[in-house]
């Protein structure tokens, strides 16, 4: 029976049904499941109505749909091959390449992505700038969107994910051990796709993968903390890439730094600390900064005072001289190696016995030339960073939204992106936002 079906398969470059394709009905952002069986095995998309169906042989869901609805062109969602049903022959035509490209975008020259200032046009006539598109909010997923937008600014990580290859087949569409990597790779390519059918992208498949692998720690309909997601995501992505490439170090190469800390334990039954410290070395993937307490007094107009502090003042925590006290002792931190991409976390949210509080302190920071030389215990060492992503929070701890500021390096234009909404923003407003998580890029040293 199988041999008979194979004999019926033929190639046809002049299929009479090509004109029936409705590109505006196609959406490849959602989970690749058959709309009838909910199976992810051997799924095809109907190129006329955009629905997903399983199989293409006799009595399969796609086959039955072709007979009942008179829809004849279907594309395999794993290998992008297009077939005409119920005749079951493969259609090969250059006019269909844009559909295959949108399902699985390919990139040749990544430098063009960073030098591009030209907007692309979607099917509905709207324009968008590749790499700076909005992401759908899937119900309280603004925290998720800003993290994915931020990680897509890391050029080495972005380039690695764009070219990352996976073994796919109709019977095994994905490997659970590399599910995050596969979905993140797909989302990255869609965000930077210059030929996208839409001016926005949905992170639905990646969020579903995160929900599954985190045991619903992060899920649709539940607001979470972007910093918690970054820590979890990078850790699990690193494990997956190690599984795929065995010796992959892209996460460590981008984000890992080294620091030394001196730990002074409290003396028992006495006031003070042990005179001899415990000195340890450890790696880090982000630095946390402690914000000063919000003052309780009000000014003459009875408005609460909102303090302001510079990031250089906060970063002194890691200069090797400033003491940081906690319940288990006193520490002094010294950074011994800076990462290529520095993630900074402002501790804005504090959970007490009753509710979550937000510290509204404004942290001022430069967009370029953030000098952290004071934190490196070496003479004549120049360490400067440029901001590439700024995640900020607006509102209260209970009711608030996350936004992100990102820059197009081709023309130094900054954008503010909140889910689907993107707008230009002047740099002066970025430096006074309620920054929560920032990513800086290390400047190239002058030779």
The number of domains in the chain is 3
Whether residue 5 has pLDDT greater than 50? no
The per-residue pLDDT for 373 is 84
Verify that 194 and 280 share a domain, yes or no. Answer: no
The first and second tokens of residue 326, run together, are 């906690």
Verify that 222 and 137 share a domain, yes or no. Answer: yes
Integer Cα distance of 154 and 158 in angstroms: 6
| Partners of residue 415 on adjacent β-strands | 406, 424
Verify that 111 and 144 share a domain, yes or no. Answer: yes
In a domain, 118, yes or no: yes
> What is the average pLDDT value for the chain, to the nearest integer?
88
Which ranges in 152-225 belong to alpha helices (H)? Answer: 155-163, 179-191, 204-213
CATH of the domain at 56: 3.30.40.10
Integer Cα distance of 358 and 362 in angstroms: 12
Which ranges in 246-333 belong to alpha helices (H)? Answer: 250-255, 311-314
The answer to whether 23 and 197 have CB atoms below 8 angstroms apart is yes
pLDDT class for 314, splitting at 50, 70, 90?
Answer: very high
CA distances from 141 to 55, 132, 221, 223, 308 (A): 33, 18, 7, 6, 29
The per-residue pLDDT for 7 is 46
pLDDT digits (tens, 9 = 90+) for 407-442: 999 999 999 999 999 999 999 999 989 999 999 999
Task: Write down which residue in 229, 251, 273 finishes a domain.
Answer: 251
Verify that 151 and 279 share a domain, yes or no. Answer: no
Verify that 227 and 241 share a domain, yes or no. Answer: yes
Verify that 165 and 219 share a domain, yes or no. Answer: yes
Label residue 372 exposed, middle or buried (CB < 10 Å: 0-12, 13-18, 19+): buried
pLDDT class for 378, splitting at 50, 70, 90?
Answer: low
In a domain, 447, yes or no: no
Verify that 300 and 402 share a domain, yes or no. Answer: yes
Dihedral of the alpha carbons of 62, 65, 67, 69, in degrees to the nearest 10: -140
Omega of the bond leading into 382 within 30 degrees of 0 (cis): no
Verify that 334 and 220 share a domain, yes or no. Answer: no
Entry pTM? 0.90
pLDDT digits (tens, 9 = 90+) for 64-123: 999 999 999 999 999 999 999 999 999 999 999 999 999 999 998 888 889 989 999 999
Task: Write down which residue in 66, 85, 101 finishes a domain.
Answer: 101
pLDDT digits (tens, 9 = 90+) for 262-278: 988 887 766 777 777 88
Other Cβ atoms within 10 Å of 252 Cβ, number = 14
pLDDT digits (tens, 9 = 90+) for 388-404: 999 999 999 888 999 99
Verify that 263 and 393 share a domain, yes or no. Answer: yes
CATH of the domain at 131: 3.90.70.10
Verify that 399 and 263 share a domain, yes or no. Answer: yes
pLDDT class for 327, splitting at 50, 70, 90?
Answer: confident
Other Cβ atoms within 10 Å of 353 Cβ, number = 4
Q: Tell the residue number behind the tokens 């199988």, with chain if given.
A: 2
In a domain, 234, yes or no: yes
In a domain, 152, yes or no: yes
Phi (first) and psi of residue 324, to 5 degrees: -120, 115
In a domain, 219, yes or no: yes
In a domain, 11, yes or no: yes
Task: Write down which residue in 45, 68, 101 finishes a domain.
Answer: 101
pLDDT class for 294, splitting at 50, 70, 90?
Answer: confident
Verify that 296 and 434 share a domain, yes or no. Answer: yes
- Domain holding 54, by residue range, is 2-101
Verify that 197 and 118 share a domain, yes or no. Answer: yes
The per-residue pLDDT for 266 is 80
């Amino acid at each position: 029976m199988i041999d008979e079906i194979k004999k019926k398969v033929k190639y046809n470059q002049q299929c009479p049904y090509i004109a029936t394709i409705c590109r505006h009905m196609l959406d490849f952002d959602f989970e690749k499941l058959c709309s009838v069986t909910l199976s992810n095995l051997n799924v095809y998309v109907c190129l006329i109505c955009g629905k997903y169906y399983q199989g293409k042989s006799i009595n399969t869901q796609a086959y039955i749909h072709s007979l009942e609805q008179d829809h004849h062109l279907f594309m395999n969602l794993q290998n992008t091959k297009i077939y005409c049903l119920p005749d079951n022959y493969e259609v090969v035509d250059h006019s269909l390449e844009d559909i295959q490209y949108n399902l699985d975008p390919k990139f040749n020259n990544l430098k063009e992505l960073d030098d591009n200032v030209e907007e692309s046009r979607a099917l509905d006539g709207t324009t968008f700038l590749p790499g700076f598109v909005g992401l759908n909010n899937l119900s309280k997923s603004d925290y998720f969107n800003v993290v994915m937008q931020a990680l897509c600014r890391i050029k080495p990580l972005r380039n690695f994910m764009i070219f990352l290859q996976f073994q796919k087949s109709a019977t095994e569409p994905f490997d659970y051990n590399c599910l995050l990597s596969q979905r993140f790779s797909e989302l990255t390519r869609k965000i930077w796709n210059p030929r996208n059918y839409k001016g926005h992208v949905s992170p639905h498949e990646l969020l579903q993968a995160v929900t599954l692998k985190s045991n619903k720690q992060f899920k649709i309909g539940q607001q979470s903390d972007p910093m918690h997601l970054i820590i979890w995501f990078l850790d699990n992505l690193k494990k997956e890439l190690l599984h795929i490439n065995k010796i992959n170090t892209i996460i460590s190469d981008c984000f890992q730094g080294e620091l030394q800390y001196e730990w002074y334990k409290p003396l028992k039954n006495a006031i003070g600390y042990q005179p001899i410290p415990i000195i340890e070395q450890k790696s880090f993937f982000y630095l946390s900064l402690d914000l000063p307490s919000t003052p309780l007094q009000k000014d003459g107009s009875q408005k609460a005072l909102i303090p302001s502090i510079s990031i250089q003042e906060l970063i002194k925590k890691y200069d090797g001289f400033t003491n940081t006290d906690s319940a288990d002792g006193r520490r002094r931190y010294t950074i011994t190696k800076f990462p290529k991409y520095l993630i900074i976390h402002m501790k804005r949210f504090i959970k007490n016995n009753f509710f979550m509080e937000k510290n509204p302190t404004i942290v001022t920071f430069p967009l370029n030339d953030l000098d952290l030389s004071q934190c490196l215990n070496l003479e004549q060492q120049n360490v400067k960073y440029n901001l590439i992503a700024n995640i900020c929070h607006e509102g209260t701890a209970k009711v608030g939204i996350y936004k992100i500021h990102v820059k197009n390096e081709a023309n130094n234009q900054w954008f503010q992106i909140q889910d689907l909404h993107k707008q230009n923003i002047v740099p002066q407003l970025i430096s006074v936002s309620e920054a929560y998580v920032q990513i800086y890029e290390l400047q190239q040293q002058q030779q």
